[in-house]
Structure 1
Amino acid sequence: MRIIAALVALSLSLIAAVQAEERQQDYRQQLPLVLEGAGPWYRVELPMAVHSAAQHADLRDLRIFNAQGQAQAYALLASQRESRDEEQEHGVRWFPLYSDGQQSGVPRLRVQRSTDGTLIELSGDEPATAQRQLRGWLLDASAIDAPLVRLNLSWSGGEEGFQRFSIEASDDLQHWRAWGEGQVARLSFGEERIDQRQVELPAQSARYVRLLWHSPQKAPELDVVTLRSRRQSSSPAPLVWSQPMPAQALGDGSYEWQLPQALPLERLRISLDEPNTLAPVWFEARSREQDPWRALTSGVLYRLPQDGREVRLDELALPGSPVRQLRLKVDARGGGLGQQPPTAAFAVRATQLVFLARGEPPYRLAVGRGDATSAALPISTLIPDYSTERLASLARAEVDVSAAQTVVETAPATAGTDWKRWGLWAVLLLGVALLAAMAASLLRRPEKG
């Protein structure tokens, strides 16, 4: 049994040795990293050169090594669309709503509006009487074109305490929808005073807002009324662009580009060298040479004068699918793109790399290994107390593209590496075979009576 245990331990150690073998020289492209600030975590914006040198579009063959050749822990973060909320405060006009003192219903209205919907006159149908009571207020929000999220009231007079009122919204002053109830308060005790003036609204749009008081039924006189709106804006995900690449002319107004590898392209930019250019174009693409061409996108590119200035459209959006070869066809009726073949720049979604610096610098980014599997960690694992604010505060590092080195192994070195790998696997398989033979022998051995 001790022999079996030893063989099991040997097999496991050999498996670990084969799997853990991670050598810097196995990666074809190596680029130095220039550190800025104190680590130990560093954030790197990956340039297009890294995407182009990788063997896989998802960067599974990317590694970071220190001066001793030790692989560093890292995480990859693909850029996303950025959304943000923008709030704005608006001063609005308000109009009183009266009802008869004996009537608890909703006041009837006679209104007059301008052509843009703004109120210019509002009055009740009942004649003015001593019993007429101020029941609420109508707010004119027709100039606000964003969802309403907050109401702020300032009033004079009225008793201290809490005031409750219903909130309704309308776009035509005839059909109303409930927005719940609001409550404001004015409390005092000794020299202390509490004013609660804000009421949350349901983040919906409305041209008019009606406030009807329930407790007490008489509304106070308003001094200041403001509404706060919130608009959500978004910006596209950041992109990283390649250098302009010349096209190969195919004739008949067609051009072709060959990329270093299949990349998930998001946009492309075509050079328009001549003024007064107008070119209807369409693009075809494929990710491998043996694949058929497929339609990618189409549009009209132009560089034209307008109102004393030049306007141009030289970019087109792409669906983000992997592309290695592109073919451009130009409609000759537009006059073409000029005498010289155009150049094109291509963009992919930007990716950030975050790594934990361990060991001694310099650190190098290595990429370009066909049989590699991803070694990236989740960002929350790499940085235990991760947050977006923490990410923005990390020290930075830059890829020195100008100092990139291409590793070309000689034939003897490659052969030696292959023999070592095959030797490890041979010993591993031999150990497993011996283990199986000894286990079978023990099972066939007759039991002692």
Structure 2
Amino acid sequence: MSQKLNLVWLGIAMGLALTVSAQETRAQETPADFATQVPLAVSGEGPWYRLELPLAAQLSARQADLSDVRVFNAVGAPQAYALSQASAQADDNRTLTDVKWFPLYDSADATEHAPNVRVQANANGTLVQVQPSTELEVGEEALRGWLLDASAIKAPLQQLILDWTSERDGFQRFSIEASDDLQHWQSWGEGQLARLTFADERVEQHEVSLPGQSARYLRLLWDTPQSAPTLTSAQLQSVRSLPLPLVWSHALDGSSVKAGEYTWQLPRVLNVERVQVELSQPNSLAPVILSGRRDSSLPWQPLNNGLLYRLTQSGEDVVQNQLQLPGQAVQQLKLTVDERGGGLGAQAPTLKFAVRATQLVFLARGPGPFRLALGNATVKAASLPLSTLIPDYSAAKLATLGQASVDGGASEPPMVSTVPVSEGIDWKKFGLWAVLLLGVLFLAAMAFSLLRKPPANT
């Protein structure tokens, strides 16, 4: 009887050993488990390298959170890695600050780029008074723009939000310059604001994007003398740490099933933060509502509303064709246009979308070259926290790491397909467990047979 029990326990042990062996075999991933692979080129000092994933690579992933991203070395060994997907919309990273503003006056017939002013500031740099450098007689002065005091903000500036008196409606165009000493100015591009009365409704645009740099002072100069409105509010949004940049898609074709409604299907579920709508016809004006959803079984959710336009003023096009989104995960977008503005035509305009860039940091181990692999709907996440991957991690250290690039630097490389990975039933796993189950059943039957066999006569 003891010998029979030993055989039973031996069979059970063999079954458990086969199960553990199968799980270990399954856990050891290889490049062939992923549908897409691209070569990586590395430069700089290792052993850590950081890679900004191109959008084409991100779209090759089968999991929205990029859990199926891997890096392998030349012999197919996986590399330890971390993903950084910080969003620009994190509320705890942003601060909105009211700032003081000072008028910039000049003579009405002045031709200089910027008015000459005398500035008085206190010891910490806070502006106290701004006056024209020369006396202007009453009736000769013209308001050219405004000087904003951002000296109290010690973080990169991301957005400017203005309000002005309702007596001056229409479009407001101005240049933006930044300085730390009020002597040397750097261009930060242009701003466009709008306040219109449209079909008994007010359409307003108050926000202007800034380049995400620090500055103590901003100078806003209106394009046309005497066109600067009287400001009633000025706010600056700053961020403690700069988010990763946006990466833009190619133009997507849309469809329209009813007048004033256009829809687009994204390649997969993505956390979209901005869209750009093609405005091909001059003098287009369209109040719009943008909605999104993950799939067609869900209701549409409003994401943002605004005013899109392409207008000709003084021989130049004034264009506002972008809408900012909250970074919500969507795969379908719908634009609803108020047709009273003339609409955008019967055919859906093309649309580009932007998502926040994703940075991958990996620890190079073993021989190169290294390969980026994506495209497996069933694997589990394998990324580590940056503080674990890099023991003495800091933002400053991250900036000094070596760099990796896809395909030697191509921003949109062709994705190379390897063995297709099924997104349905995992037949390999199913077959493996079926063989194991049959083996265990066979061992159990053998043990049962031995237990029922009568003992031999002695």
> Which category of TM-score, normalised to the shorter sequence, fits these structures?
0.5 to 0.7
Cα deviation, residue 290, structure 1: 2.1
Q: Which amino acid aligns with 2:20?
A: L
Residue 319 (structure 1) shift? 1.8
Change beyond 3 A, Cα 1:397–1:257: same
2:238 corresponds to: 233
Query: Does the Cα contact within 8 Å between 1:67 and 1:362 map onto a contact in 2?
Result: yes
**Contact 2:81 2:389 survives alignment (8 Å):** yes
Structure 1 match to 2:19:
11
Unaligned segments of structure 1, at least 5 residues: 85-89, 94-114, 118-142, 150-230, 443-449
Determine what percentage of the aligned residue pairs are the same residue.
44
- Say whether the 8 Å CA contact 2:82–2:362 is kept in structure 1: yes
**Partner residue of 2:432?**
423
Aligned to 2:122: 92
Structure 1 distance, partners of 2:287, 2:153, is 44
Task: Specify the alignment match of 1:164 in structure 2.
Answer: none
Q: Secondary structure at the match of 1:54?
A: coil
Select the structure of larger CA radius of gyration: 1
Q: 2:283 aligns with which of 265, 276, 280?
A: 276
Cα deviation, 1:300-345, whole Å, max 9, x if unaligned, reads 1012244664332111111211111112222221112257531111
**2:340 match: secondary structure:** helix
Q: Residue type of the partner of 1:49?
A: A
Distance of aligned partners of 1:437 and 1:311 in 2 relative to their CA distance in 1, 3 Å threshold = farther
Question: Is 1:40 aligned to 2:47, yes or no?
Answer: yes
| TM-score between both structures, scaled by the size of structure 1 | 0.58
Question: Partner amino acid for 2:253?
Answer: P
Match of 1:405 in 2: 416
Amino acid at match of 1:334: G
- Following the alignment from structure 1 to structure 2, what is the Cα–Cα distance between the partners of residues 410 and 39? 32
2: CA distance, partners of 1:279 / 1:254 = 12
Measured against aligned partners, the alpha-carbon deviations of 1:41-69 in whole angstroms (never above 9, x if no partner) come to 11000111122222222101111122222
Q: What is aligned with 1:323? A: 330
CA distance in 2, matches of 1:248, 1:232: 36
In the alignment, structure 1 residue 333 sits paired with structure 2 residue 340: yes
| 1:14 partner amino acid | A
Give the aligned partner of residue 72 of structure 1.
79
| Greater share of residues in strand | 1
- Could you list the runs of 5+ residues in structure 2 that have no partner in the other structure? 1-5, 96-119, 131-147, 155-235, 452-458
CA contact (8 A) 2:375 2:421 kept: no
- Separation of aligned partners in 2, 1:383 and 1:368: 26
After superposition, where does 1:21-420 map in structure 2 within 5 Å?
21-81=28-88, 92=122, 233-234=238-239, 238-306=245-313, 309-338=316-345, 341-400=348-407, 401-407=412-418, 409=420, 418=427
CA distance in structure 2 between the partners assigned to 1:427 and 1:316 by the alignment: 55
Work out the CA distance in 2 between the residues paired with 1:424 and 1:144.
68
- Aligned pair count reads 306
3-state DSSP class of the match of 1:261?
Answer: strand
Q: CA 1:44 to 1:436, structure 2 compared with 1: closer, same or farther past 3 Å? A: farther
Distance in 2 (CA, whole Å) between partners of 1:409 and 1:363 is: 21
Cα distance in 2 for residues equivalent to 1:236 and 1:61: 23
Change (3 A) 1:408 1:255: farther
* Alpha-carbon offset, residue 278 of structure 1: 0.7
Distance in 2 between residues matched to 1:360 and 1:148, nearest whole Å: 48
